[in-house]
Structure 1
Amino acid sequence: MDLITHYDQLYNTSSKAILEENYKLDTQIKDTSDSRFGITLLMRPNETIKAKIQLFLEELKTIEPEQYYYPDSDLHITVLSIISCYDGFTLDKIQVKDYISVIQQSLVHLDKINIEFRGITASPSAVMIQGFPTDESLNNFRDKLRENFKKSDLEQSIDSRYTIAAAHSTVMRFQEKLQNPEKLIEITEKFRDYDFGELKVKNLELVYNNWYQREENTIHLADFII
């Protein structure tokens, strides 16, 4: 399935659920004892894209101030969740240098990654910015990472939740009952095809992170220049 169709189907199903108040609340956002951690290879939007995302979020905040909004520091696009977050995972369970080595090995044939951020989509519990890679570089790199990690004996749970193929960035999560679902969808419709800008990826980050990629809970492990 192409990304446009994927995002459209997701939005159509989710916006209907939101309007019918069949959305899902994330009950763990405020849980300070949440111990779900993992390691992720990710990229971050540039300052221009971040500024446009925050303009969008400011509109949402006027009608849904009690929801969870990602600050600039936490905005990201997942390249690959290498160890999906689970209760009790800590860094002393792995040798980080071995993970860095596999990623460096996988980077050898990577030329460039460019992503166009255009429009928004939604799930029954969140709102996301749509990302469209301009070629197959990201998918090919993900496949090389999968191949090399699965050949290794390192702990990993790649694709255990789902096989990542998109390049979206989650920017809002539902943590309280929506005050005005109709107005929320009205604003998302306004931004359905909005141009948030193009990202020419120059740097990838390997991080130890919690479920929400909160900066205060994140340990930076390595940078990879591409």
Structure 2
Amino acid sequence: MNLESHYKELYDHSISKISSDNYEIDNLIDSDKDNRFGITLLIRPPIEIKEEIQKFIKEIKRIEPNQYYYPNSDIHITVMSIISCYDGFDMKTIDLKKYIELTQKCLLEKREFSITFKGITASPSGIMIRGFMNTNELNDIRDRLRKEFKNSNLEQSLDKRYSIQTAHSTIIRFKTKLSQKEKFLKALDKNINYNFGAFKVNKFELVFNDWYQRDKYVNKIYDFFI
């Protein structure tokens, strides 16, 4: 996949939808009745990258203060949704040890790689940072996870929503109608190539999480270090 082209196509398509008021508002973000939970393998960028993200968020938040903005604690890259979030999932119903062991097996061949956060893209439901890998290692890990989990008898839903191939990070979600849409779009366009920085990946986290990876709901299961 050509990530540059993919991100641009996604941005153009989504901006067109936002411009014509066809964007998606998430009505569950503030709901205390949202019981969607799952298991995810993820990567978290270091604090210096997160602080750069917050600088960008601060600028957008001045224009649209009522949208949902990810705090540092929740910013992540999804490596794979092992069990995609669904209503009522309880990790007490699965054998966590087996999930750790199988994930560890998929990471045994892991090699050091870096991710560069450069520029923004969008979806009809929010704004994301474009992530670029310097090798194909991340997708190799994903392929091993797909193979091993699909050949196991463990509950899993890999690629149920879509087959993930990028290293993006969602940082803004729409939770209400945009109040200053034109200014918002202009700010996005101005920052389309914002350089958030690059980092070496040295840890993967296996977590129990809600739909938004909010820190108050995340329960860390295991850390895998490179």
Q: Same fold (TM over 0.5)?
A: yes
Structure 1 residue 93: deviation in Å? 1.3
Q: What's the offset of the Cα at 1:34? A: 0.4
- Output one character per residue of 1:96-147: Cα deviation in whole Å (capped at 9) or x when no partner: 1100000111111111131110000000110000000111010111101111
- Deviation of 1:157 after TM superposition, in Å, equals 0.1
Could you say which residue in structure 1 is the equivalent of 2:90? 90
Matched, 1:213 2:182: no
Give, in whole Å, the separation in 1 of the partners of 2:177 and 2:194.
Answer: 27
Q: What is residue 142 of structure 2 aligned with on the other side?
A: 142
CA distance in 1, matches of 2:128, 2:221: 26
1:213 corresponds to which letter in structure 2? Q
Question: Match for residue 33 of structure 2?
Answer: 33
CA separation in 1, counterparts of 2:135 and 2:154?
30
Q: Deviations over 1:158-203 (max 9, x none)?
A: 0010000011000000001101111111111122111111120111
Counterpart CA distance in 1 for 2:70 and 2:59 is 14
1:56-75 to 2 correspondences below 5 Å: 56-75=56-75
Secondary structure of the structure 1 residue equivalent to 2:185: helix
Q: Is the 8 A contact 1:21 1:181 kept in 2?
A: no
Q: Per-residue deviation at 1:151?
A: 1.4
Could you tell me how far 1:15 is from its partner in structure 2?
0.7
2:204 aligns with 204
Q: For 2:112 and 2:145, locate their aligned partners in 1 and report how far apart those are by CA, in whole Å.
A: 15
Tell me the distance in 2 between the aligned counterparts of 1:191 and 1:200: 24
Distance (Å, rounded) in 1 between the aligned partners of 2:28 and 2:6: 27
2:169 maps to amino acid:
S
Equivalent residue number for residue 46 of structure 1: 46
Q: What residue ranges of structure 1 are gaps of 5+ in the alignment?
A: none
Alignment match, 2:181? 181
Is there any run of 5+ residues in structure 2 with no aligned partner, and where?
Answer: none
* 4+ aligned runs moved over 6 Å, structure 1: none
TM-score normalised by structure 1 residue count: 0.98
Work out the CA distance in 1 between the residues paired with 2:122 and 2:107. 31
**Paired letter, 2:218:** T
Counterparts of 1:170 and 1:192, CA distance in 2: 15
In 1: Cα distance, 2:111 partner to 2:145 partner:
15
- Within the alignment, does 1:4 sit opposite 2:4 as a pair? yes
Q: CA RMSD in A?
A: 0.7
Q: Deviations over 1:6-35 (max 9, x none)?
A: 100110011111111111100100111100
TM-score w.r.t. structure 2 length?
0.98
- Deviation of 1:50 (Å): 0.4
How many pairs align? 226
Contact 1:39/1:83 (8 A) holds in 2: yes
SS of the counterpart of 2:216? helix
- Identity across matched positions, percent: 51
SS of equivalent residue, structure 1 residue 30: coil
